[in-house]
A and B are shown apart, each in its own frame.
Chain A
Amino acid sequence: MVFTRLIAAFIAVSVLVPAAVNARRHDDWHKDHRHDRDRGSDAAAGVALGVGLVAIAAAVAAKNKRKAEERRDGYRYGYGGSYGSDAYSPSRDVLCYRGERRCFVRGQFSYEWTDSQFQYDPYRRGY
């Protein structure tokens, strides 16, 4: 962020300086035409430098925006990323997750395996 602000300040200076040069050039036109030619080339160089810096600043801003979006997407779509470390397979095609006390057969929830692996009620009170 600081880097971007520095670039923006530098661009502002580089754009304003040629503008000041242009203003003075207009006043000096009748005084020294040859001198004006030199200042004209300086102004062109300043504008080119300004345009270049604007392009650099735009690229940096775009990169920062992209990074922020990637970070946000990581938060937004990262749900469930922590699951799987406590998974085990009691049988073929069966996966159970200890932390959540859930079992799945070929990716689908299974009452049978969930109940057999995580018997939650020693009194078997009816569910």
Chain B
Amino acid sequence: MRFHLLAIAVALSAIPPASGQTTAPGISPSAAINMDLAATDAIRSTLGADFDEGHIAMLLALGHQQAVAATCPGFAIDPRAFSNEFDLIYDDTQGKPRALDASQKTVIERKATFAFGTAFGAQIAIAANDHGAFCQAASQERTGGKVAHLIWAK
């Protein structure tokens, strides 16, 4: 019995997990994706340890949505939603306010603003590669209803 359990365990461990993912080695990213990834790297390295991955993702998302609102017809920014998102820079990973003195708060705000501006500018440049596809993708995400915390006005 013990041997059978051991054999089953070995057999199960040999089966690769069914993750549904396929690796895509050797794929050369398009110019637009290259630009996006390079900007993402630059922003991440600029923000440093003062920001976690949640902050970085949020700032990148704000930059993208701001670029969509600036260049695509039918899009506008909801200022309240923007503030609700941006103000998350003051929170920690558990959603509680970080303990920041005045100088730390200033540094956080400047870095976040710089990251947001960089993401915004990068997305404007990325949109120029194929503006129609850029706007179409944003429209599909807005109407798809699967994405929370968008800052576009409804």
Contacts and interface: CB of A to CB of B under 8 A. Distances in A.
Interface in B124-154: 126, 130, 133-134, 136-137, 141, 144, 146-147, 149-150
Given A125-B95, A126-B149, A84 B29 contact: yes
Contact of A123 (B29, B31, B33, B95): B95
A117 to B, nearest CB: 9
Contacts of B23: 87-89
A102 interface: yes
Given A89-B21, A123-B94, A125-B94, A107 B147 contact: no
Interface residues of B, number: 48
B40 A100 contact: yes
Interface stretch (A2-10, A22-30, A108-116): A108-116
Nearest to A111: B147
B40 A102 contact: yes
B101 interface: no
Contacts of A31: none
Nearest to B23: A88
Interface string B50-65: 0011100110010010
B24 A95 contact: yes
Contacts of A120: 52-54, 57
Interface residues of A, number: 34
A32 interface: no
Closest 5 CB pairs of A and B: A80-B34, A125-B95, A108-B137, A120-B53, A111-B147
Interface of A: 79-80, 83-85, 87-91, 95, 97, 99-102, 104-112, 114-115, 118, 120-121, 123, 125-127
Given A107-B30, A112-B147, A118-B53, 7 more contacts: A83-B29, A88-B23, A102-B37, A102-B40, A121-B54, A126-B88, A126-B95
8 contacts: A80-B33, A83-B33, A97-B29, A107-B32, A108-B134, A111-B61, A111-B64, A114-B57
